[in-house]
Structure 1
Amino acid sequence: MDPAKTRLFFQPVSPSHYDGRDWNQPEARNCADQTEPVLGSVYPGRLPPALGLQKEALSLIKKPVTLLDITHLSQFRKDGHPSVYGQDGRSGMDCLHWCVGGVPDIWNEILYNLLFIP
């Protein structure tokens, strides 16, 4: 890879919202009926453990890698998941994937800015 011609981006783990204790709402068993983001600037839960491992692995790479760190900002959006309204009316709770438009649009805006705005 020629760093003068190629830029490498890595998007780490995306948070899930299966446990209301993570956002100080212990009565919430998952993301169902969540219609507002977590308020404030400090997320009450912890970062996913995989994030630390990913950052450590990236630090070992010799070529320059830009971390598209979407994890922390996405933690606030417990309201952005399909929950029971998944594709084809499948049953079950989806608090891992994201609704389009919403959170993934913000990720794309961050990537766009990293690519095109000096």
Structure 2
Amino acid sequence: MYNKNIDYLYTVWIGSNPKPGKAWNDSNLATCQGQTQPLSGSSYPEGLPPAIAVVKEVLNNMTTPVTLLDITTLSQLRKDGHPSVYGTNGENENDCSHWCVAGVPDTWNELLYAILVSSD
């Protein structure tokens, strides 16, 4: 149920990674092409972007209650969720910064929906 007295903000940002192999602990990988499995484990090898700590600190110091739906780690672990060479420009461009639908964005939406319907 939507509460008209509450402002909702849904923002997603994930920076593209020019060297995904390094971030995924596999120096042989230059792109996301051919990735069919997410990273194993529950933490990203390179850790969280520094901006996340800033956002969390700001939210913790706010007097107005705010809920953060942090999809950062969930998204970072999905190296298999990018269009790769199956995007708009095909073999000419390897798209490792956007996400496939259906896929990772559907998970974001389901989590957001769960928060919206459970909050009173």
TM over 0.5: yes
Instruction: List 4+ stretches of structure 1 deviating above 6 A.
Output: none
Structure 1 pair 30–89 and aligned structure 2 pair: CA distance change class (3 A): closer
Shift of 1:14: 2.4
> Greater strand share, 1 or 2?
1
Structure 2, unpaired ranges of 5+: none
- Point out the more displaced range, 53-62 or 38-47: 53-62
RMSD over aligned Cα, in angstroms?
A: 2.5
Equivalent in the alignment of 2:66: 65
Shift of 1:61: 4.4
State the distance in 2 between where 1:58 and 1:10 align.
Answer: 15
Equivalent in the alignment of 2:79: 78
Equivalent in the alignment of 1:50: 51
Structure 1 pair 55–91 and aligned structure 2 pair: CA distance change class (3 A): farther
* Percent identical: 49
Report if the CA contact (8 A) 1:13-1:50 is conserved. Answer: no
TM-score (norm 2): 0.78
- Point out the more displaced range, 24-33 or 40-49: 40-49
Equivalent in the alignment of 2:102: 101
Shift of 1:20: 1.0
**1:8-27 correspondence runs (5 A):** 8-14=8-14, 16-17=16-17, 18-27=19-28
Shift of 1:52: 2.4
Equivalent in the alignment of 1:6: 6
Alignment size in residue pairs:
116
Shift of 1:111: 0.4
State the distance in 2 between where 1:110 and 1:78 align.
Answer: 19
Shift of 1:117: 2.3
